[in-house]
Copies of this chain bind each other. A is one copy, B any other.
Amino acid sequence: MKSGEAAVKQAEEKQSAEKPTGRARGIDRVIALMEHLHDRRAPTRIADIARDTGTPRSTMYELVNTLVEARWLELRDGDGTVYFGPAMHYYGSDYLDSVDLIRKARVEVAHIAETVGETAQFCTLDGDKYLVVLNEPGRRMFRISSEIGIKVPIPWTASGRLLVDHLDAEEIRRFIPSEDFTLPDGRRIAEDEFLEDMRRARTQGYVRTTALVDRFTTCLAAPVRDPSGRCIATICFVVPADTTEEAQQMMIDTLKASAERLSPGR
């Protein structure tokens, strides 16, 4: 079990911080269950979920049965693992259709991913983290697994430099947790380097970052702005770092045009 430490830690947090007593409402257990599946991003055995969320085994079996019946979960593979079921897809689609900006962004992202042939994304902030809302894989199809709904530190991303556009140096320092400036490989991003990226982004109308989260990847991002000029989302490409400058310029133009179309009240 590779998620061992994190799992135990999570269970302890559940028991200590959230519920002094052992007993909890079914709905709270279900929320913990779904969050756990989302974090693991893989079909998981019921007993493991129970252990890792601090839920009694008998309770978890009971709940899983109910949820499977409602199609919220699905039994997978024949081994006793469960994962999200079709109902989640239906409800998620309803959500996407109900949010005006996202509905429009879906069209843009699908269009530019198809015509350019590279992975395109639509991103926003969630609290002090960066979040991929839409992800359309390009023809290349490298890195299939989507990062939809996964929170990432702002400094790790090109889009992040646009999304905190409206903050000054001091506000940034307070808003972004200090540890978020440390990349997965241990390197640390200097704050004034980050601020310089932001400044350049504002004047140029786009951001390019290379080899940040992953050594061979370049990200190109353009801002979607509300009428007041604040960056409320970004649209971006994820491409191999060795993509020609010429091709990248073309993508940047594409992104700027899409971002402009998505910016409300223009």
Contact = CB atoms under 8 A, between A and B. Distances in A.
A133 B94 CA distance: 12
Interface residues of A, number: 54
Interface stretch (A37-45, A168-176, A244-252): A37-45
A144 to B, nearest CB: 8
A89 B148 contact: yes
A253 B41 CA distance: 36
A48 interface: no
Contact of A27 (B30, B76, B87, B103): B30
B95 A88 contact: yes
11 contacts: A26-B27, A27-B63, A30-B30, A37-B94, A84-B94, A86-B126, A90-B92, A90-B149, A91-B149, A92-B93, A97-B146
Contacts of A52: none
Contact of A92 (B37, B66, B92): B92
B88 A84 contact: no
Given A31-B72, A83-B98, A110 B136 contact: yes
A193 interface: no
A148 B95 contact: no
A85 B38 CA distance: 15
Interface in A108-153: 110-111, 113-115, 126, 133, 135-137, 141, 144-146, 148-149
A18 interface: no
Contacts of A148: 89-90, 93-94
A107 interface: yes
Given A42-B98, A74-B95, A89-B148, 6 more contacts: A38-B94, A84-B94, A89-B149, A90-B148, A91-B91, A93-B135
Nearest to A76: B98
A249 to B, nearest CB: 23
A149 to B, nearest CB: 3
A195 interface: no
Nearest to A72: B31
Contact of A84 (B34, B35, B42, B95): B95
A266 interface: no
Nearest to A97: B146
A70 interface: yes
A95 B85 contact: yes
Given A27-B26, A110-B114, A110-B136, A86 B95 contact: yes
A66 B30 CA distance: 12
A226 to B, nearest CB: 17
Contacts of A38: 90-91, 94
